[in-house]
Amino acid sequence: MSTIRNPVGPLPPEVYWRRRLVVGLGALAVIVIIVLIIVRPGSGEPADQPTPDPATTESAAPGGEGDTESGGALGEVTACTADQIEVTPVTDSDVYGPDQQPQLSLTITNTGAAPCTMQVGTDVQSYVITSGSDRIWASTDCQQEPVAAERILQPGEEVSSTPFPWSRTRSSPNDCDAQRAPVIAGGATYRLSVSVGEFESDGDRPFILN
C-alpha cells in the first residue's frame, strides 16, 4: 500500500511524486474554475431597479370639504373671492301667523369655475332683520359660543346653514340682559339680509308677520 507521504512501487519515488503533483495541480485547477463559475464578481448584488417616474409616484390630492368634507386638499385650493361666491338669505315661508316663528338660514354657492376654501362658521355668519330703515334684530347681538369652520366649495356647489328660529323680538348689542320687546305684527313686512365674513348677500328676503 502506498501513501501520499511516502510513495513506493517499482518506479523511483520521484516519478510517483511528479505524477501526484500533476494530478493534484489538475484537480486544484478544476476546483478553481468551478468556484469562479459559481461565485462571479458582483453576483451577490441585486439587479438594477428601474427608476420610479415622479409623475406616477405622486399621490392624488385627497378630497375634503369644509372641515374638509369635499374638494381638494386645503394646501392646493385658494381662498374664495367675491366674484365666485353668492350668499342668499332664506326663510321657510313668505307669511307667518301670530304664533309662528320664522326659520332663518342662508345658502352659499360657488358660482366660479374652480374650487375654493371659505370660512363658513357661525363666528362669521350674520343675519340682520330690518323694517324700512329700522334695524330690528341681528344674530351677532349678544351671540354666545360662535363656532369657526372652514369648507372647500366645489364649482357649482351650494351649501346651506342650519335653520334657526327668530323670536319676533328686537335685539341690541348693548342690552343683552334686558327684556326684548316684541316687534309689530298685523301684516308688517320685514327683510332679512345675511353675510358670511366679507361676503354679503346681493339682496334681502322679505316676509310678513301677521
Tens digits of residue pLDDT in 76-118: 899 999 999 999 999 999 999 999 999 999 999 999 999 999 9
pLDDT at residue 61 tops 80: no
- Are 99 and 79 within 8 A, CB to CB? no
Q: How many separate domains does the chain show? A: 2
Separation of alpha carbons 207 and 86, rounded Å: 21
- Are 195 and 82 within 8 A, CB to CB? no
* pTM (predicted TM-score): 0.64
Residues near 49 by Cβ (< 8 Å), separated by ≥ 6? none
Query: Does residue 204 belong to any structural domain of this protein?
Result: yes
Where is average pLDDT lowest: 98-102, 171-175, 205-209? 171-175
Domain with 157, as residue range(s), is 74-209
Tens digits of residue pLDDT in 139-162: 999 999 999 999 999 999 999 999
Residues in the chain: 210
CATH code for the domain of 116: 2.60.40.10
Name the residue among 53, 54, 72, 56 with its Cα closest to residue 64: 72
Q: How does DSSP classify residue 79? A: B
- Are 177 and 68 within 8 A, CB to CB? no
Are residues 103 and 165 located together in one domain of the fold?
A: yes
Strand 95-96, strand 205-209: pairing: parallel
Are residues 195 and 113 located together in one domain of the fold?
A: yes
Are residues 99 and 33 located together in one domain of the fold?
A: no
Are residues 30 and 108 located together in one domain of the fold?
A: no
Query: Does residue 57 belong to any structural domain of this protein?
Result: no
Beta-carbon count within 10 A of 38 CB:
8
Separation of alpha carbons 160 and 109, rounded Å: 9
For residue 151, give the C-alpha cell.
369648507
- Please give the residue that has the higher pLDDT: either 29 or 1: 29
Q: How far is CA 24 from the centre of its chain?
A: 76
- Are 30 and 36 within 8 A, CB to CB? no
Are residues 13 and 100 located together in one domain of the fold?
A: no
